[in-house]
Amino acid sequence: MPTFICRFTVVAAFFLLLNPFVARAQDFVWTPGLQRAYSELQKLAVQPAQHILAAESAQNGVRIFVDDYADMLLLVTSDDDRLFASISDREEERLDALKKLDDASPWKRVLLAEVRLHWAFAKLKFGKEMSASWDVIRAYKLLAENQKRFPAFVPTYKSLGTLHVMIGSVPDSYSWVASLLGLHGNIQQGQQELQRARQDPIFGLEARLIDLMVRAYVLTFSDADGQSVQQLVSAHPDNLLLHFFGATIEQKNGHGEQALTYLSTRPSGKNYLPLPVVENILGDIYLQKGEYNTATTHFQQFLATYKGRNFLKDSYYKLFLCRWLANKPDPDSRPFLQNVITVGRTTVESDKAAQKFAESYLAKGVSANQKVLMRARLASDGGFTDSALAYLRPYSEAKFSTITEKAEYTYRMGRIFQRRHEPDAAIPWLTRALALSEPDQLSFGATAALQLGYIYQQKNDRTRARSFFQKALSFKRHEYKNSVDNKARAGLSGL
């Protein structure tokens, strides 16, 4: 599963909540206590929420949902396989309890769908894709039915809109499967439904955040979107989830310093859930900044506190990079790559990439040029473009001996200029990267085509934008195909 999908999953699970209106049926009542518990859970303050929940009726469908939501927070923040195994039976228990409640209430199908989505997200993190898929399908059908029966019931549209976006970003090669299973929708439809949900005075925050996640992970994330995130975080200084949400989005979009600001000002204390993954993110940012000792400390802290199996390969790979890029002797760095081979699993893209690098390096090593390309890549990914450009300025394409290195060099130069808001300077570099990559179907070509699509989309040159998005989809074999294809399809949909 792609890294971006894995992180997207964590944040999306946090926000798939319901509007705390009081349903008419007594089976579904948002009491003041449940509303307070809901508010605490949104901050990742689980302990206060659990104390409040203890006083609420176990027969209330809303209490069942909030209990389930608290469990999902524990699962998606810990990645603990043993915890998942010990509480996974609760899904069916809660679904059975909800099925016995008032069928005339619009909350029944929505809450049933939400519980299924909670477990779908958890199962994806624990490598149970087939079971997760069936949960998503059943949730979709429940929400679609609720929309038909209660079209004015706003809570339906938050999760239904999210699912329509997900369905709309399914690669072409799988779209027939979605249609066969009765899943219909597109990105534009999903965004419209999320916009509708944003109008609600209580439910609007969750819908707004999901819409921002769609922009960050599926579409394109603008400066205005970044300002919206800053406003949300500033308005909720005691909300750990919002700080984490802001940091992951800004890191994803190459704004390492802003991500660091969110994490350094995050609230802490015994009331909040521990988030070991924050140490992994901090390690990434300091690695991108070239502060290798600080990065090493954060990656080691992550490995010491994390109980899951995702991001282990990635972390050992990054520990290798901290030593390799600091020009430490090979015997000091090589053992970390040997750990990459033996630990964790390859569910997320970052772990797959780490595994691929480790296998290649241990088998045949790498050329000296790979070190400068890696430094430039990391700095560019973090938005430290001055450093990235300084690494590459002494070089030219002719100084690289292999097609893969030439393609990476030209791609990195293009991305640096693109991140510096110099699209006209980026175009020839990205075009060259595409030309070099296409014969061997290198990932640099697919990503270069995607970025060219974005550039021409911003220039309102729809014909060229469409051509490059289609070109990105045409690459058949590369390690980032899922994420590139999702974004290219979204780009085409936006045209």
For residue range 232-280, what is the model confidence (pLDDT) as tens digits?
Answer: 999 999 999 999 999 999 998 899 999 999 999 999 999 999 999 999 9
pLDDT of residue 298: 97
Q: List, in order, residues 6 or more apart from 117 with CB less than 8 Å away.
A: 13, 16, 135, 136, 139, 159
The dotted CATH code for 397-495 is 1.25.40.10
Question: Helices 61-78 and 3-15: crossing angle, nearest 10°?
Answer: 150
SS3 402: coil
d(CA 32, CA 22): 10
Examine domains 276-365 and 397-495 and report if their fold is the same: yes
CATH architecture observed for domain 276-365: Alpha Horseshoe (1.25)
Query: Which segments in the chain show pLDDT lower than 50?
Result: 1-5, 8, 10, 16-25
Q: Which residue, chain included where needed, has tokens 């699912």?
A: 163
Structure tokens belonging to residue 155: 């809570």
Q: CA angle 195-175-463, nearest 5°?
A: 70
DSSP for 21-61 reads PPPSSTTS---HHHHHHHHHHHTT-HHHHHHHHTTS-TT-H
**Cβ contacts of 481 within 8 Å, gap of 6 or more:** 446, 475
Residue 289: C-alpha distances to residues 249, 251, 301, 325, 465 (Å): 18, 12, 19, 12, 33
pLDDT at 494: 77
The residue assigned the tokens 């001055």 is 386
* pLDDT of the residue at 17: 40
pTM of the model: 0.84
Question: Cβ(270)–Cβ(46) under 8 Å?
Answer: no
Q: Do residues 119 and 138 lie in contact, with contact meaning Cβ atoms separated by under 8 Å? A: no
What is the Cα–Cα distance from 388 to 376, expressed in whole angstroms? 4
**Looking at residue 172, what is its pLDDT?**
60
DSSP 273: P
Beta-carbon count within 10 A of 150 CB: 16
Those residues whose C-beta lies under 8 Å from the C-beta of residue 227, and which sit 6 or more positions away, are none
- Indicate the domain borders of the chain: 3-219, 276-365, 397-495
Instruction: Determine the Cα–Cα distance for residues 448 and 445; give it in Å rounded to an integer.
Output: 5
- The token pair at 483 is 């994420």
Largest CA distance in the chain: 74
Six token digits for residue 198: 């944003």
Phi, psi of 79 (to 5 degrees): 55, 30
Place of tokens 């909720």: 236
Give the contacts of 213 (CB within 8 A, at least 6 positions apart): 8, 11, 12, 15, 245, 249
Tokens 């890191």 correspond to 251
